[in-house]
Structure 1
Amino acid sequence: MKHTKLSAATALAFGSALVLSACAPAGPASNDGGSSSAANGGSSSAANGGSSAAEGGSASGGAGEVTTGENGQKLTAPVDGPGLADLGDVQTEDGSIAYSVGADEFLSYNGLQENTYTTYNSAVVDRLFSSFWYYGTDGTLLPNEEFGTYEKISDDPLTVKYTIAEDAKWSDGTPVTAADYIVQWAVDNPTVQNPEGEADPETGDKPPLFETISTEFGKRVPEAPEGDPKGKEFTITYEEPYADWEILVSTALPAHVIAKGADMELDALVEAAKAKDVAALKPAAEFWNNGWDFSPGELPEQDMIPSMGPYRIKDGSWQAGNSITLEANPEYWGTPAATKELVIKFAAPETHVQALQNKELDVIEPQATIDTVSQLDGLGDQVNVQKGDEMTWEHLDFNRGEGSVFADSPELREAFALCVPRQQIVDNLIKPINPDAQVLNAREVFPFQDNYQEVVDAAYPKELDQPNPEKAKQLVEQSGVDKPVVRLGYQAGNQRRTETVALIKSECDKAGFDIQDANSQVFFKEVMPAGDYDVALFAWAGSGQKASGANIYQSDGQQNQQSYSNKTVDEAWDKLSTSLDEKEQLEQTKAIEKALWEDFQAIPLYAHPGVLAHQADLANVRATSVQTGALWNVEQWKRVAE
């Protein structure tokens, strides 16, 4: 999986919504791209909201009974949708549940920096924060009314009112208030720049004062949130309509702790934030950037790392190189965690299946390969295995930059698209893991989403359903290039991609190409930035955002690494991102997909198969297609009698 601009294994952490930037790209750490991230995480600790919406699956029976869902997992409440189950009157039970996302160490309470925004770090910090919304298992956006509510009160200008729950508070007893969001707005503001930083040679802009990974909040909302900083309500006004307005605001870091770390009064910090006063904010930025970064095994006092989620970090629990333990937050006002402790273990992915068998881990999300699924199936009734599609998708991207055989040849791009055996790739490599898998014929919608077929019918050229080596060969001849060499690059160490390249070579060489397996250990770090490839094979992790793909497909998109440019696509993205009309958004999605196919911008292959396995005595563990991964509803997990 691939991640740009951020760290190698990124997660969509808890923070300000558009941290899920773009079609959050999947990072190379997981290699198969089969985990859920920007390489894994999710937008929002909103996954911790105990809303009354029902969870995905099907079951019968009342709360407290143990029933069986559609994937065979145990459930303690009936479920009828993609959201959190209503578990009724939850009492936290003693015990612990162990989970691992990988071997990397916990880094920081602040998971919104370039060096801390990782899958591994957000597995911990996402549990500590609540949000106004969360993603259901199918990518549906759902409200988290235990934390608060939001309401669009005007379309022109777009204005949204937020109300934080009256009893929402940090675990140190400090109320969650508008002050937290006013300061977060300043943190996420591209105009709050570091005067001592080196200016961008093209724009002249200095780097942000706060080393945040997202500046969308400040970019879209030019003036600070309005409302009493000590109160529970605030309102934001957009400069122009924005399709993803519902997810722009999610959660915030504690303003009172930032003030304390900066040796400032909270009132003074809030006023400086409102005014975007760089000089006054400098001490706050110094703390924000550095004050929450820890040495392995060392934690500050609880009042420096407060929680407003169902869990908090347990004192003295961080064992460097081994694990960190979260415990139920005694000050949490919402539905309490069902199990007292969650142990996040730092364990290498290749050890996870064995650790599950040995009951050293209770829940795992292993690399989705045929061998892994076979091993899990071999554990029999000891474990439950859930399989399904994820919002992470595999694709082939043409390099249109100088030096690539595809740079100035639409004939060769079409020829390559016609010879890639997409159905065979899915049949051989994906269906043994997920029998319901199908070839993906779009980029912005997935087969399990309502509008998928409508978009495909409007945009997809059906002649690509099966390889056509004869037509491809004719196009190669028309191109005037004799036996064009195609360096098919990807991150080394991924057997599924190696086999994908072999299948492509077997078909496309018949059409006159010379396909070369150009995998590299430094593909994302060195090869792709240098443009030393012709086709890139990797994955993007979809976020559920409506306008995020613009960052990949627009001519000036920060994640447009293939030098792709199309005026029709640029204009359609502009229309989509500034429209609040869902019908208009759908029509622009069709226009974008159609133009991308006509240009053969890239070749989608499949949605990644997801695999989730857990001990059979755990209830309410629910697989999800979105980037939050298994932990999206961890506060509902509990042990039941087998």
Structure 2
Amino acid sequence: MITAALVVSACTSDDDGADDEEVATSDAGDDTTDTTEGGDDTTETTEGGDDTTDTTEGGDDTTETTEGGDETTDTTEAEGDDGDTGMDDSMVGVEGGSGCGIPHGPYEEAEASGEVRVAWNDPLLSFNQNTTHANATANANVAYLMHSGFNYYDGDLNLVNNDQFGTCTIESLDPLTVTYRINEGVSFSDGTPITAHDLILGWGATSGNFNEGGVAFLEDGSAIQTDEEGNWLVLTPEGDIVPEEAGVHYDPETFELFEGFEYVPAESVNFDAASEQFELVTQFPEVSEDGQAITMVYDSFYVDYQNGTPFLGNPAAHVVGRLALGIEDPTEAKQAVVDAFQNNDSEALAQIATVFNTAFDHDSLPDDEGIYLSTGMYELTAYEERAEMTLVANPDYTWGPQPKVETIIYRIIGDPTAAVQALANEEIDIMQPQATVDSVAELEGYADRGIELVTGDTAVYEHVDFAVANGGPFDPATYGGDEATALAVRQAFMKVLPRQEIIERLIAPINPEAEVRDSFTQTPGAPWYDGIVAGNGTADYAEVDIEGAVALLEEAGVETPVNVRFHFADNNPRRGSQYELIAASAAEAGFNVIDGRSPTWGSELSNPSIYDAAMFGWQSTAVAVADTGPNFITGGANNFYGYSNEEIDALYEELNGTTDPARQEEILTEVEATLVETGFGLPIFQHPGVTAFNSNYVSNVNPIAISPTIFWNVWDWEAA
């Protein structure tokens, strides 16, 4: 299924069906918009479409997934595709062996029939979830249904190489050298073969090696020029180009440009995508003679290399070549894309980057079928604007698990109460509602109608982060460049976050064992969790400290009230309750927390000019060690806030090449201690999860904790 590493979603924002998550973009694709919690987060990814996916933590998600996901093992073993599959892992990670998971071998044949109706809380907004602004669970879910790839996670969180699609052969471990080969006969749904050209596009667009810099990306992915200090440039009515200034060029409350002003479009090469993994491949990959494979030589070892592969799913190289370069013939078009990268043709690459960044963003069925080509189980046949999608089994697909359901109706129901009611009324068959006391109780009351629940912790965690380069209360520039004052304001806000109260009032009633999460990289219960928490400094924020917060503001000479624009999902009742608790607590210390809820919060994360603090969930899409790097490193794909720390950057650089588990734990402890010390923000809790389905109409629904949660074994679903 879609390569985790390139689900640039990051941490896909948390969108777990109900909880606003972002998928963490971690390069290896490990986090995807945390879109999935109950469907409320986005892979800017998003919880419920609202959270962004976060690739997590040295295998820590494995613990989460196997807890509460036991039915998965039983079902997949019955099918023979997962669980105790007999797959041989002895040749994984060794020279001559697999560089992208345990090879699966042939899959069972299946006859697709019937229809299953699924509900999610957020709509698909882009057919290219590999861009930073489209890294959301709501986008990643559909990509998983429509695209195949080199690997996917099974019910036991084994990374499986779909060797019917292609193979990843380790030629050398020093230097790390991997050959990624697409099998003959694998194609896009328009009949165009998938070849090395598509792998070159995947590597080139996400590596950052061709980006010329000097730009910022707007919410829609379009690039605009910045000056040397990173200030956005504005074209005035008089034709002058100047750095934007609040109150002069734009409304400081709405952040909309005044009439007559416009941002200066960037004409340079800048792809809105990032992969720490492929950033390490600076040599142009060697293309095989048959045009089906590329061999990558890494500049240095990358610890999570198994997760990431250079196949994007969408966009296709021949479509990008047509749209960007005007070449209609598919073979010529994709060769022109490869030539542009190989020759570092700035003019052509600038056009390719613009198409890659923006041309695939749609919220209804595009007129151009090339925008939504399939490479996997299902083809998209209809998309009513932000309301409902129809996906039909791809008749030409033979290179992976075979689906048993002919048609999937994918409905967008933003209101979790309405979604629960739709399930009760037999209007939908599967959903991941936000896990609240009321929703769980209501669903349990429908047991006599065939409604079954699967509960357990998810791989999504809630957190609050601060924008530190937007001219707001947490930015040193607001205080004349005084770093200490800005840090004091951030620390004061951290002291008023009522994390324990949020647990007790909103999470414990669903999961009595719930506790505050005190780690940015580890799931509670994971092997490294206690050790890292003991050394990261979060103990200083274990309880609300109003007096301490007031003292910090007074000592720093900061006048109150301090306005804090608080960004979070609009269609998430639990987040609304969290905001109320935070606002009330913060007010006691002199903070005025401004309600900044938004229905499109996920795509807006990359524009911190409209907020000062963001609250959402990061959802993991893989089991990895260094996948959290893009959340915190300078310029990281999931670091939306302007945060930059040389020590953090150096630690993650070391972690990427470290295979010793003891040193890995030490590095992550140092990372977290620095994040706390410098006031990055705070984690709050691990998301509880619930999947509900009507067993009268569908069977074999067995979610896993990481993205794509309920969809991971869609091929096992059977319609009654």
- TM-score category of the 2 structures, normalised to the smaller one: 0.7 to 0.9
TM-superposed CA distance for 1:356, in Å, is: 1.2
TM-superposed CA distance for 1:174, in Å, is: 4.7
For residues 513 and 424 of structure 1, the distance between their equivalents in structure 2, rounded to whole angstroms, comes to 17
TM-score (norm 1): 0.76
**Pairing of 1:397-412 with structure 2 (within 5 A):** 397=465, 400-402=474-476, 403=478, 408=485
Counterpart position of 1:18: 27
Counterpart position of 2:47: 35
Deviation string, structure 1 residues 447-487 (Cα, Å, up to 9, x no partner):
25443233223435546545566777777787677987574
2:113 corresponds, among 94, 98, 121, to 94
For residues 12 and 229 of structure 1, the distance between their equivalents in structure 2, rounded to whole angstroms, comes to 40
SS in 2 for 1:149: strand
Counterpart position of 1:365: 432
Residues 496 and 549 in structure 2, CA contact (< 8 A), matched pair in contact too: yes
2:199 corresponds, among 164, 167, 181, to 181
C-alpha spacing 1:208/1:138, structure 2 compared with 1 (3 Å): farther
Query: 1:242 and 2:302 equivalent?
Result: yes
C-alpha spacing 1:477/1:631, structure 2 compared with 1 (3 Å): same
Deviation string, structure 1 residues 515-560 (Cα, Å, up to 9, x no partner):
5442124696599834875x65444444545445444434555655
Counterpart position of 2:388: 323
| Richer in strand (by share) | 2
Counterpart position of 1:385: 453
Deviation string, structure 1 residues 119-165 (Cα, Å, up to 9, x no partner):
44443333222122224568764433333332443344322222334
C-alpha spacing 1:184/1:354, structure 2 compared with 1 (3 Å): same
**Pairing of 1:272-421 with structure 2 (within 5 A):** 272-278=340-346, 296-297=364-365, 306-314=373-381, 317-319=382-384, 322-331=387-396, 332-350=398-416, 351-381=418-448, 382-397=450-465, 400-402=474-476, 403=478, 408=485, 417=494, 420-421=497-498
Deviation string, structure 1 residues 404-432 (Cα, Å, up to 9, x no partner):
89962767766665564433321211122
For residues 650 and 269 of structure 2, the distance between their equivalents in structure 1, rounded to whole angstroms, comes to 32
Deviation string, structure 1 residues 92-114 (Cα, Å, up to 9, x no partner):
2410111132463x566544457
Query: 1:489 and 2:566 equivalent?
Result: yes
**Pairing of 1:250-289 with structure 2 (within 5 A):** 250-252=310-312, 253-258=315-320, 262-264=327-329, 265=332, 266-278=334-346
SS in 1 for 2:406: strand
Query: 1:607 and 2:673 equivalent?
Result: no
For residues 605 and 359 of structure 2, the distance between their equivalents in structure 1, rounded to whole angstroms, comes to 32
SS in 2 for 1:491: strand
C-alpha spacing 1:149/1:12, structure 2 compared with 1 (3 Å): farther
TM-superposed CA distance for 1:336, in Å, is: 0.9
SS in 2 for 1:373: helix
C-alpha spacing 1:137/1:473, structure 2 compared with 1 (3 Å): farther
2:673 corresponds, among 576, 594, 603, to 594
Deviation string, structure 1 residues 76-104 (Cα, Å, up to 9, x no partner):
99856999999974522410111132463
For residues 615 and 258 of structure 1, the distance between their equivalents in structure 2, rounded to whole angstroms, comes to 41
For residues 182 and 413 of structure 1, the distance between their equivalents in structure 2, rounded to whole angstroms, comes to 43
Residues 419 and 504 in structure 1, CA contact (< 8 A), matched pair in contact too: yes
Counterpart position of 1:223: 283
Counterpart position of 2:663: 584
TM-superposed CA distance for 1:385, in Å, is: 2.0
For residues 484 and 121 of structure 1, the distance between their equivalents in structure 2, rounded to whole angstroms, comes to 39
Deviation string, structure 1 residues 175-202 (Cα, Å, up to 9, x no partner):
4332321233344454556999865432
TM-superposed CA distance for 1:500, in Å, is: 3.4
TM-score (norm 2): 0.69
Counterpart position of 1:72: none
Residues 418 and 471 in structure 1, CA contact (< 8 A), matched pair in contact too: yes
For residues 366 and 391 of structure 2, the distance between their equivalents in structure 1, rounded to whole angstroms, comes to 15
Moved more, 257-266 or 361-370: 257-266
Q: Look up the equivalent residue of 1:202 and give its one-letter code.
A: E
2:707 corresponds, among 623, 627, 638, to 627
Counterpart position of 2:148: 130
Identify unmatched segments of 5+ residues in structure 1: 44-53, 67-74
Counterpart position of 2:251: none
C-alpha spacing 1:424/1:557, structure 2 compared with 1 (3 Å): same
**Pairing of 1:142-181 with structure 2 (within 5 A):** 142-166=160-184, 168-181=186-199
Query: 1:573 and 2:652 equivalent?
Result: yes
SS in 1 for 2:199: helix
Query: 1:513 and 2:589 equivalent?
Result: yes
Deviation string, structure 1 residues 375-404 (Cα, Å, up to 9, x no partner):
322222421222333333222345531448
Residues 90 and 336 in structure 1, CA contact (< 8 A), matched pair in contact too: yes
Identify unmatched segments of 5+ residues in structure 2: 1-8, 56-65, 86-100, 216-222, 231-264, 467-472
Deviation string, structure 1 residues 264-319 (Cα, Å, up to 9, x no partner):
42555544443333456678668767776779455556x885432122234xx445
For residues 46 and 133 of structure 2, the distance between their equivalents in structure 1, rounded to whole angstroms, comes to 22
C-alpha spacing 1:428/1:64, structure 2 compared with 1 (3 Å): closer
Residues 77 and 87 in structure 1, CA contact (< 8 A), matched pair in contact too: no
For residues 24 and 207 of structure 1, the distance between their equivalents in structure 2, rounded to whole angstroms, comes to 29
Moved more, 234-243 or 406-415: 406-415
Q: Look up the equivalent residue of 1:575 and give its one-letter code.
A: E
C-alpha spacing 1:93/1:263, structure 2 compared with 1 (3 Å): closer
SS in 1 for 2:684: strand
For residues 607 and 336 of structure 2, the distance between their equivalents in structure 1, rounded to whole angstroms, comes to 46
For residues 470 and 258 of structure 1, the distance between their equivalents in structure 2, rounded to whole angstroms, comes to 57
TM-superposed CA distance for 1:327, in Å, is: 1.9
Query: 1:202 and 2:233 equivalent?
Result: no
Q: Look up the equivalent residue of 1:343 and give its one-letter code.
A: I
For residues 208 and 336 of structure 1, the distance between their equivalents in structure 2, rounded to whole angstroms, comes to 43
Residues 193 and 206 in structure 1, CA contact (< 8 A), matched pair in contact too: no
Q: Look up the equivalent residue of 1:604 and give its one-letter code.
A: P
SS in 2 for 1:92: coil
For residues 631 and 361 of structure 2, the distance between their equivalents in structure 1, rounded to whole angstroms, comes to 31
For residues 320 and 411 of structure 1, the distance between their equivalents in structure 2, rounded to whole angstroms, comes to 46
C-alpha spacing 1:146/1:472, structure 2 compared with 1 (3 Å): same
Counterpart position of 2:257: none
C-alpha spacing 1:78/1:145, structure 2 compared with 1 (3 Å): closer
Residues 113 and 213 in structure 1, CA contact (< 8 A), matched pair in contact too: yes
Residues 162 and 233 in structure 1, CA contact (< 8 A), matched pair in contact too: yes
SS in 1 for 2:376: coil
For residues 11 and 83 of structure 2, the distance between their equivalents in structure 1, rounded to whole angstroms, comes to 39
